[in-house]
């Protein structure tokens, strides 16, 4: 799924949380660029590793695992949202969307897990995130990602072994 679709879905999650009465006071067209700004780096690439690192550092590894996994996402509360994103970042977001900071916190509690969950779907994404977070430290990646990282790591090792064996067999045939 591309970044624009992920942000659109995140904006819809935010809007559904904040615009329960359906009066349209919070516009998707305002939310998408503000959320994109929160979740992308200067190059415009999706960057969720800092959020996952923040969860891990804050003792919320199980929350990170739930967002990265295929099951239900564990919720975070307003305080955890403030600690994770920082009050200045949330204030900037609220200003861009035209809402109060507390409203932004409430909506982000819904949108952040949704965005992380969608951005991390698929084994390749999990290992990319783990690599970014832990710079190749497999033990730390497995601690954060649980069984999913171990399975992907085992699969990658198997593929690597198979390719090495194939190359070696091919070299023996030509020698």
Q: In percent, how much of the chain has pLDDT > 70?
A: 65
Rounded CA separation 65/49 (Å): 13
Residues 111 and 155 in one domain: no
Give residue 68's pLDDT.
Answer: 85
Residues 127 and 116 in one domain: no
Q: Is pLDDT larger for residue 56 or for residue 23?
A: 56
Burial grade of 128 (CB within 10 A; 0-12, 13-18, 19 or more): middle
Place of tokens 């305002």: 30
Give residue 102's pLDDT.
Answer: 93
Residues 11 and 61 in one domain: yes
Among 102, 121, 140, residue at a domain's last position: 121
Range(s) of the domain holding residue 137: 123-175
The domain that holds 75 is classified in CATH as 1.10.10.690
At 89-130, the pLDDT tens digits run 999 999 999 889 999 999 999 999 998 988 877 544 444 555
Residues 56 and 138 in one domain: no
Give residue 139's pLDDT.
Answer: 56
Residues 53 and 116 in one domain: yes
Look at residue 165 and tell me whether its pLDDT is greater than 50: no
Q: Is 161 left (phi over 0), alpha (psi -120 to 50) or beta?
A: alpha
């Amino acid at each position: 799924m591309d970044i624009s679709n992920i942000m659109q879905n995140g904006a819809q999650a935010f809007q559904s949380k904040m615009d329960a009465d359906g009066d349209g006071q919070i516009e998707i067209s305002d939310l998408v660029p503000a959320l994109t700004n929160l979740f992308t780096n200067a190059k415009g690439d999706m960057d969720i590793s800092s959020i996952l690192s923040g969860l891990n550092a804050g003792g919320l590894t199980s929350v990170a695992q739930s967002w990265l996994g295929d099951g239900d996402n564990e919720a975070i509360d307003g305080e955890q949202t403030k600690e994770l994103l920082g009050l200045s970042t949330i204030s900037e977001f609220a200003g861009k969307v035209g809402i109060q900071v507390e409203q932004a916190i409430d909506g982000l509690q819904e949108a952040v897990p949704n965005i992380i969950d969608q951005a991390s779907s698929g084994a390749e994404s999990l290992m990319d995130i783990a690599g970014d977070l832990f710079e190749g430290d497999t033990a730390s990646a497995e601690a954060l990602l649980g069984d999913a990282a171990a399975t992907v790591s085992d699969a990658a090792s198997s593929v690597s072994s198979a390719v090495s064996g194939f190359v070696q067999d091919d070299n023996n045939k030509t020698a």
